[in-house]
Amino acid sequence: MIESGTVRLGVVGLGNIAQQHIANVRDGHVVECAITAVCSRQQTDAAAQLGVTHFTDYRELIDSGTCDAVLIATPTFTHFDIGACALQAGLHVMMEKPIGLSVQEGQALLDLHSPKQVFALMLNQRTDPLFQTMRDIIESDQLGEICRTHWTMTNWFRPDIYFQVSDWRATWKGEGGGLLLNQCIHNLDIFTWLCGMPSSVRADCRFGRYHDIDVEDEATAYFEYDNGASGLFVGSTGEAPGVNRFDVVGDKGSLAFDGQRLVLTLNERGTSEYSRTTHDMFGQPATETTDVTPDREVNQHALVLGNFCRSILQGGQLIAPASEGLKSLALANAMLLSSWEDMRIALPLDSEHYQRALQQRIDASSLRKKSTAKANIDMDASYR
């Protein structure tokens, strides 16, 4: 436990998302921590504005004794080295998604985590009241056994400049993928959080269909579950206007999210019971439909960071333990492997097999030369 009652937080990386976290602490949305150091390869005015030390090497920050915990908000390919260094030094770690380029990387980090350390992932959509409402309904068995899941999430449109001004985004070497490892990792996390892990995946990923990139910018996947249920996931960064439609269908009813409203429809009698007992040739169960859309105005990132700090100070359950990050990463990895090998992939994923396949692509990959074009950045527009 920390005697001061406040977590001393070091921020590694000072890009767009790191600035959001810093602003949340600075503006009082996260009161359980104080930023005591920052790290980036180039000098910025962030340290002076915060009145803290600036480091250009993350190892120096970690060894400085100025921090109880670090928030890692750097490009994906650096997550493993920085995370491993912080965990081995005994610090608590909050990491931006994903936990690594692959399940094997993520598991290797978890293996370094001791019970005395808090290790969390910024899976902020778990704090969205809409998904929490869906989870409560599913866990209370109002839908009965799940029969089918379907999420079309093509509302992640990214123009070319999003990739051009970065040297690491949407490269095998820098990100280990594209759409699935960056944008849709949030959706895959919510999918598994609500509906569980499938037993197998069959996917068709399209690589560089809409952008001048080597990695996937469109993906369609079919899931099979142990109970016989089926699922479909569709994602894209190349469609405009995009769609955000999520359906969970159970024996007793369904949840339908259309991107704006969440609707719960409950059957008067369970579908399977009705089917077995009715004499009406074209009958179907009577239903009642209710709009259950909650107020969604919450600061998701601040809630996750505050929860992380309280877990350090007081103990208690994390919203998003780092171990949970393996589930969405396994789905993303399996979807890519299925596309590369044109076959159904059984889960749990053979992480060693996947790592070999990924490494071949990393070895043939390189970071891109960054464009000098000026990009207009509105981070609020990036959240879907």
CATH assignment at residue 11? 3.40.50.720
Give pLDDT, residue 43. Answer: 75
pLDDT above 90 (res 381): no
Give pLDDT, residue 200. Answer: 98
CB neighbour class for 163 (10 Å; exposed up to 12, middle 13-18, buried from 19): buried
Classify 255 in phi/psi space as left (phi over 0), alpha (psi -120 to 50) or beta: beta
Residue 369 belongs to a domain? no
Mean pLDDT of 93-108: 97
Distance (Å, whole) CA 97 – CA 10: 17
pLDDT above 90 (res 199): yes
Amino acid letter for position 362: I
Q: Which pairs with CB-CB distance under 8 Å and at least 24 residues apart come from 378-384?
A: 379/16, 379/17, 379/19, 379/20, 382/16, 383/300, 384/153, 384/155, 384/156, 384/183, 384/242, 384/244
**Side-chain half-sphere CA neighbours of 67 within 13 A:** 33
pLDDT tens digit sequence for 45-70? 888 999 999 999 999 999 999 999 99
CATH number at residue 260: 3.30.360.10
Angle, alpha carbons 9-14-19 (nearest 5°): 80
pLDDT above 60 (res 250): yes
Give pLDDT, residue 42. Answer: 80
Rounded to an integer, what is the distance from CA 77 to the centroid of its chain?
16
Residue 209 belongs to a domain? yes
Question: What token pair was written down for 202?
Answer: 């069959």
Contact 305, 30 (CB under 8 A): yes
Distance (Å, whole) CA 139 – CA 146: 11
Shared domain for 118 and 135, answered yes or no, is no
Shared domain for 27 and 157, answered yes or no, is no
Shared domain for 48 and 85, answered yes or no, is yes
Mean pLDDT of 133-146: 98
Residue 90 belongs to a domain? yes
Residue 370 belongs to a domain? no
Mean pLDDT of 188-204: 98
Residue 348 belongs to a domain? yes
Q: Please name the residue that has the structure tokens 């992380």.
A: 308
DSSP label at residue 125: G
Give pLDDT, residue 278. Answer: 95
Distance (Å, whole) CA 270 – CA 251: 6
Distance (Å, whole) CA 348 – CA 344: 12
Distance (Å, whole) CA 150 – CA 160: 28
pLDDT above 70 (res 3): no
pLDDT above 70 (res 166): yes
Report, in angstroms and rounded to the nearest whole number, the Rg of the chain calculated over CA atoms: 22
Cis before 321? omega within 30: no
Q: How many domains does the chain have?
A: 2
Average pLDDT across the chain, whole number:
96
pLDDT tens digit sequence for 291-334? 999 999 999 999 999 999 999 999 999 999 999 999 999 999 99
Distance (Å, whole) CA 129 – CA 380: 18
Model pTM score: 0.95
Mean pLDDT of 239-252: 98
Taking residue 55's Cβ as centre, other Cβ atoms within 10 Å add up to 21
Shared domain for 113 and 163, answered yes or no, is no
Shared domain for 146 and 275, answered yes or no, is yes
Mean pLDDT of 218-236: 98
Shared domain for 166 and 80, answered yes or no, is no
Distance (Å, whole) CA 163 – CA 258: 28
Contact 211, 238 (CB under 8 A): yes
Distance (Å, whole) CA 168 – CA 135: 35
pLDDT tens digit sequence for 324-362? 999 999 999 999 999 999 999 999 999 999 999 999 999
Shared domain for 198 and 249, answered yes or no, is yes
Mean pLDDT of 365-370: 91
Angle between helices 325-341 and 185-195 in degrees, nearest 10: 110
Shared domain for 18 and 95, answered yes or no, is yes
Contact 180, 229 (CB under 8 A): no
Shared domain for 284 and 200, answered yes or no, is yes
DSSP label at residue 43: -
Residue 50 belongs to a domain? yes
pLDDT above 80 (res 133): yes
Angle, alpha carbons 325-326-328 (nearest 5°): 70
Question: What token pair was written down for 91?
Answer: 């610090």
Shared domain for 83 and 136, answered yes or no, is no
Shared domain for 40 and 132, answered yes or no, is no
How confident is residue 370, by pLDDT bands cut at 50, 70 and 90?
confident
Distance (Å, whole) CA 22 – CA 20: 5
Question: What residues make up the domain containing 238?
Answer: 127-296+328-363
Residue 374 belongs to a domain? no
Shared domain for 30 and 176, answered yes or no, is no
pLDDT above 90 (res 382): no
Give pLDDT, residue 1. Answer: 55
- The rounded percent of the chain whose pLDDT value lies above 90 is 92
Residue 35 belongs to a domain? yes
CB neighbour class for 247 (10 Å; exposed up to 12, middle 13-18, buried from 19): middle
The number of residues in the chain equals 384
pLDDT above 90 (res 377): no
Give pLDDT, residue 197. Answer: 98
Give pLDDT, residue 117. Answer: 97
